[in-house]
Amino acid sequence: MPETPDSRPGPLIEDEKIILAPGDLATVEGEITYTGDRFSLFDDVTGEFDPSNGYPPAFKTAYNNIVSPTDLPGWQDKLSLQTDDLELGSYIIFVRATLSGTKSNSEYEVRAQINNADEIDSQKAQAGIADSEQGFAAYTVRSAFSGVNQIDIDFRKVSGSGYVKIRGARIAYWRISAE
């Protein structure tokens, strides 16, 4: 069987057929075109952009995988992300973290907030088995969202013995539509 552009026999792994004809920029949402020297993609937020330049406009993420322990009952900051000055639009915001307790009776709570007031979600749990990990993940879609905003993941020990720990915290947002 003859070799194909992806160096494997048979059809391309990604698609059975790819058409790359130089032409006009993409104009239909989701359309990808090839202009002779680059690919372009059209979305309903920004119009045409070149995906080879990285993430689409209005995307930002923060990540912290350092293990942070506490035995304090007050809220402790784990990760914060300050948005850029966002244009009015709808944005999806994702948060996640992994928590554990050093003792089976370690009870902890985690929360994600916008501007230290508007709660995205929270979770309260008990370790059950010492050092067993439990995931926390949430998302929200915010319409008519704009300006500079602070997104935080906080955690605390609620009760029990030992320490509670958090790691793998991530916050991400991106614009999904214009208003």
> Each residue's pLDDT tens digit in the chain (179 positions)?
444 444 544 444 444 444 444 455 545 544 555 555 555 555 554 555 444 444 455 678 899 999 999 999 999 999 999 998 988 888 889 999 999 999 999 999 999 999 999 899 999 999 889 999 999 999 898 988 999 999 999 999 999 999 999 999 999 888 877 76
Q: What is the DSSP code string of 95-133?
A: EEEEEEESSTT-EEEEEEEETTTEEEEEEEEE-SSTT-E
Distance CA 162, CA 23 (A): 64
The answer to whether 164 touches 157, Cβ cutoff 8 Å, is: yes
Residue 53 backbone dihedrals phi, psi, to 5 degrees: -85, 5
Distance CA 140, CA 143 (A): 10
Residues of the chain with CATH 2.60.120.760: 59-178
Which pLDDT score, from 0 to 100, does residue 1 have? 45
For 6, the 3-state DSSP assignment is coil
Which pLDDT score, from 0 to 100, does residue 57 have? 58
Which pLDDT score, from 0 to 100, does residue 129 have? 92
Helix, strand, coil percentages in the chain from 3-state DSSP, rounded to 5 = 0, 60, 40
CA angle 74, 145, 168 (to 5 degrees): 45
Distance CA 103, CA 118 (A): 31
Q: Which CATH number is 59-178 given?
A: 2.60.120.760
Distance CA 157, CA 168 (A): 18
Largest CA-CA distance found in the chain, in angstroms, rounded: 66
Q: Model's pTM, two decimal places?
A: 0.69
Which pLDDT score, from 0 to 100, does residue 76 have? 96
Distance CA 71, CA 161 (A): 8
Beta bridge partner(s), residue 41: 32, 49
